[in-house]
Structure 1
Amino acid sequence: MTGEEKILKKRIREQQVVHLMISLYCRKKHGSSKNMLCSFCLELDEYAAGRSENCPFIKTKTFCSSCTVHCYRHDMRNRIREVMKFSGPRMLFYHPVLAVRHLFSTVCSRMKNKKTV
């Protein structure tokens, strides 16, 4: 697998996880169906996908929360934080493989950052 393919795969995975978290939030908070998002959540989902699509740091970062540059607008950053705070713990029940993979990546990233300091 080439470097470009790895980056594309990473970008797609990140977009899928964010979409799943927004979908879970929307279903539980706004009562939407499993395959539909309300307009409020759809706007956030499209915004997050656009930010991920244009991220210049995708090669080196693990997640947006660990990025040195926060490219989200202030209002959107607050909305995505709310979604992550709500959906994060619930992902273990709805998407356990993704939740464990995310936890593992976060721990590895923090350990790597401690070694470089």
Structure 2
Amino acid sequence: METKQGQGEMLPSPSRRKENHKQEGPRITREKRTVLLMLRIYCHHHHTPELNPHSENHSEQCGLCPSCAELLAYAWKRLTYCRFGEHKTTCERCAVHCYKQDKRDAIKLVMREVGPKMLVKHPIVALRHVWDNLRAPEGGK
């Protein structure tokens, strides 16, 4: 592996950092599940005609219409490569906004509308998300 010397430590070269930055621990997995559950609720309320299980437009993998499935894939990719990994706070409190503006607006709309419904439909998931939001970001971020 190609490395750079930096103040007595060996650091991976920039070309190798991205590949080593993939995050798949329990915190990231929980966050991905939360986003999936929120998008399912949102999609069910807003895109019901597209959500027919026998429809061509229905994504069999996650139970979402194509536009919600696209937003889910985008969110999961961002979580997979989150620079804070298992030490992250919620995206809302993060100092680094890695979403494109249109995707950020879309996910904010979903969360604003579905957040209260999560307390009824998935109370434990919702409370863990609130707890994660209260958690101080590491490194002052």
Structure 1: any 5+ residue segments left out of the alignment? 1-6
The Cα shift of 1:92 comes to 0.5
Task: Give the secondary-structure state (helix, strand or coil) at the position aligned to 2:25.
Answer: helix
The Cα shift of 1:104 comes to 2.6
TM-score by length of 1: 0.81
Q: Hey, what does 2:75 align to over in structure 1?
A: 48
Q: Which has the larger radius of gyration?
A: 2
| Contact 2:78–2:98 (Cα < 8 Å) also in 1 | yes
Per the alignment, do residues 40 and 102 of structure 1 end up closer, same or farther by CA in structure 2, a change over 3 Å counting? same
| Contact 1:62–1:106 (Cα < 8 Å) also in 2 | yes
Q: Which moved more, 1:33-42 or 1:17-26?
A: 33-42
Measured on the aligned residues, the alpha-carbon RMSD in Å equals 1.9
Task: Give the secondary-structure state (helix, strand or coil) at the position aligned to 1:37.
Answer: coil
Q: Quick check: which one's helix share is greater?
A: 1
Q: Which moved more, 1:64-73 or 1:30-39?
A: 30-39
* Residue from 95, 99, 112 that aligns with 1:68: 95
Q: Hey, what does 2:35 align to over in structure 1?
A: 18
Q: Hey, what does 1:95 align to over in structure 2?
A: 122
Q: Deviations over 1:4-56 (max 9, x none)?
A: xxx60111101000011011100011112585211110100000000000111
Structure 2: any 5+ residue segments left out of the alignment? 1-23, 54-61
| Contact 1:19–1:45 (Cα < 8 Å) also in 2 | yes
TM-score by length of 2: 0.68
Q: Quick check: which one's strand share is greater?
A: 2
Q: Deviations over 1:57-101 (max 9, x none)?
A: 123322111111000001100000010011111001110111122
* Residue from 34, 38, 46 that aligns with 1:29: 46
Structure 1 segments of 4 or more deviating over 3 A? none
Identity of aligned residues (%): 38
Q: Hey, what does 2:59 align to over in structure 1?
A: none
The Cα shift of 1:102 comes to 1.8
* Residue from 82, 85, 96 that aligns with 2:109: 82
